[in-house]
A and B are shown apart, each in its own frame.
Chain A
Amino acid sequence: MNGAIPLVEKAPPAITQTGLNGANSRLARMLRAGEFAVCVEISPPVGPNPEAIQREMNTLRGYAEAYNVTDNQSAMVHVSSLAVSIMLMQAGMEPVVQFTCRDRNRLGLQSDLLGAAVFGIPNVLALSGDHPIWGDHPQCKAVYEIDSMNLIRTIRMMRDNQVFENGKTIPKRAPDFFIGAVENPFAPPFDYRPTRLAKKIVAGAQFIQTQLIYNVPRFREFMKRVVDMGLHEQVYILAGVGPVRSARVAEYMGTQVAGMDVPDWVAKRLEGLSKEDAAKAGIDICCEVANEVREIEGVSGLHIMAVSWPAAVPEVARNLGLYPRPVLEGDPIPEATASS
C-alpha cells in the first residue's frame, strides 16, 4: 500500500495500565463509601463577570459533593466550563467539568482535558451537547466530530492507558478523571436506553447523570431494566431533579426543550398561583419527585439542576434532609460551611 492514507493504524506496542480510577474525586470517594451523593449544577454567566460566578458559588457552597459546570448551555455562548471549574477548584469546591462534542474536535477536546488535568479537576462529564439550532448562534457550524460515546472512550484511554485518541503515549503522566456521562430515560426508543447506558459503561463511564425527572413511572421502568442487566453495580446513577418556577416554565420545558418529558400535572399544579406560591409549589414538586426516585433501587445520588434559579437549591437540599453533607474519613478538603 503506497496510498497517502495509511492502511493500518498501529496500536501502541505495549499498552500501559496506569491503574488510575479517579481517586482524587471526592464525589467518587463518597459514592464508593456508599453514601447518597448530591451534585448541583452551576451555569456560568453570559458576560465575563466574576462577581456573578462568585455569587452563585456562595449560594451553592456546601450543598453538594461536586458542582457540574455546564458547557455553553442550550448552545448559547457562556463563560467556558473549564474557566469556571478552575475558579471552583481555587475556592475549594469540587467541579465536574462538562465537555460537549458540539464545539470542539478531538484535538480541542483532548487539549481541554489536559488543561483540566493541569488544574487537578477530578471529575469530567462527556456529552453530545444541544444542537446550535437551539442556541443563540444558529448560523454556526456544529462540530460533532466524535460522539459522546467516543469522547468517553477517549477519556478512559487517556487515563487508563496514558494514550491520546491517536494511540500515541501522553508524555510524563496520565490525567486522572472520574468519568461521567448522561442518559435520557425519557427519549425514544425507551427500550433501547438501558442498552445505550451499557454501551457508555463499556466506553468507560463511571457515573451517570440523568435528564430531569418528572415522569417517575417511566424512570422506574428504566431503572428496573438497568438493575435487571446488573448495570447499577458497575456505574453510579445520579437521578436528575430540579424545581420549576411557574406553569409557563413547565409548559415551555415540556414542549420546547429537546428530550424533556414534563407530564401535564406539573403545569396544572402551578397554574393560577401567585409568583411566590408557584415557586413554593415548584420546590415541593421537586422534593416529592426526589423523595420517590431516591427510593428506587440502583439510584446512588441526586443531580439537582435548578436552571437559572440557583437560590432554590439550598431549600430543596434542606427539605430533602441532604444538608449538611456528610464528612468522609480522611477528607483532605475541609467542608466549608454555608454562609446562610
Chain B
Amino acid sequence: MPVRDIWQDRPAVLVWTWEATAAVLRFMRPVFEKLGMEQSSKIVKPPEELVKHMLFNCQDCAQCLLHYNGMTCPMNCPKNLRNGPCGGVRLNGKCEVKPEMDCVWVLGIERIQKTPYINEMYRLNPPVDWRLEGQASWVTYALERDVIPTGTDTTVRYATEAMADGTVLADGSVVAKGDA
C-alpha cells in the first residue's frame, strides 16, 4: 500500500487544505493577471510541484481534477481518462494495465463520498488542453483557465441532466425539474 493512501483515504485534512489554498489563489488572481499565466507559473510551480508530487503523484497536467475525484489524481490512469473508470477495471478494483495499482477512478469515487464535493462525481470533465501541461494548476485555477470546455459547450455539464425527476443523488438530494 503506497504511503499516499494514508492521507488520501482520510481526505478531510486535504479538503481543508485545498479550501484554504483555493481562497488564497482567488485572492491572488489580480497579481496573476498582471504577471500573465506563464510568468506566474514560473513562481508558483515549484512549491506546487513539491507538495503535489509528494501528496498525489501529480502528473503536471495543469488542469487539476483532484477535488473532483476524491483527492486522487486521475492522470495516474494509464489511459489518462478524465471521465473514468474504464471498462477494463479488474473485478478486484485493480488497474487492467498495472495489476499492482488500484484503479485511480475506483479509489476516487470511493473517497469523494467522504468529501463535500460528492456530487462532482456527476461532472463531465472536459479534455486536457495539452498546451497547459507543465504550467501551475494553482494559476490556471485562479485564472479559471482550467475548466474551459471545448467546442460549443460554454459550461461544464453534469450527468444529472439525463436523470429522471426523483432520482436520489449521492449526497441525498433529489433531481427535480430544471435542476442541472
Shortest Cβ distance from B93 into A: residue: A188
Cβ of B19 under 8 Å from chain A: no
B162 contacts which of A131, A182, A192, A231 (Cβ < 8 Å)? A231
Q: How far is the CB of A309 from chain B (nearest CB, A)?
A: 22
Q: Are B38 and A3 in contact (CB under 8 A)?
A: yes
B84 contacts which of A147, A203, A228, A259 (Cβ < 8 Å)? A147
**In the complex, A202→B122 CA distance in Å?**
10
Cβ of A165 under 8 Å from chain B: yes
Q: Are A202 and B161 in contact (CB under 8 A)?
A: yes
**Of the 9-residue stretches A50-58, A150-158, A264-272, A322-330, which lies at the interface with chain B?**
A150-158
Q: Are B89 and A259 in contact (CB under 8 A)?
A: yes
Which B residues lie within 8 Å of A144 (CB)? 79-81
Q: Are A7 and B124 in contact (CB under 8 A)?
A: no
Cβ of B48 under 8 Å from chain A: no
**In the complex, A145→B21 CA distance in Å?**
29
**In the complex, A163→B164 CA distance in Å?**
29
**In the complex, A145→B133 CA distance in Å?**
13
Q: Dominant SS at the B interface?
A: loop
Interface size band for A: 35 or more
**In the complex, A103→B160 CA distance in Å?**
31
Q: How far is the CB of B19 from chain A (nearest CB, A)?
A: 25
**In the complex, A196→B87 CA distance in Å?**
11
Q: Are B152 and A157 in contact (CB under 8 A)?
A: yes
Which A residues lie within 8 Å of B151 (CB)? 11, 153-154, 157, 161, 163-167
Q: Are A229 and B87 in contact (CB under 8 A)?
A: no
**In the complex, A117→B80 CA distance in Å?**
28
Q: Are A1 and B37 in contact (CB under 8 A)?
A: yes
Cβ of A140 under 8 Å from chain B: no
Which B residues lie within 8 Å of A2 (CB)? 36
**In the complex, A230→B177 CA distance in Å?**
13
Binding site for B on A (CB under 8 A): 1-5, 7-9, 11-12, 15, 101-102, 106, 128, 130-131, 133-134, 142, 144-150, 153-154, 157, 161, 163-167, 182-184, 186-189, 192, 195-196, 198-199, 201-203, 211, 228-231, 233-234, 258-259, 261
Extra contacts besides A150-B82, A187-B87 (5): CB < 8 Å: A1-B36, A11-B153, A147-B127, A187-B86, A202-B161
Could you list 20 A-B pairs, sorted by A, with CB under 8 Å? A2-B36, A7-B37, A7-B143, A131-B79, A146-B127, A147-B82, A147-B83, A147-B127, A154-B151, A163-B152, A165-B127, A167-B151, A187-B91, A189-B93, A211-B87, A228-B167, A230-B163, A230-B167, A231-B164, A261-B91
> 4 closest pairs, A vs B, by CB?
A230-B164, A184-B87, A258-B88, A149-B83
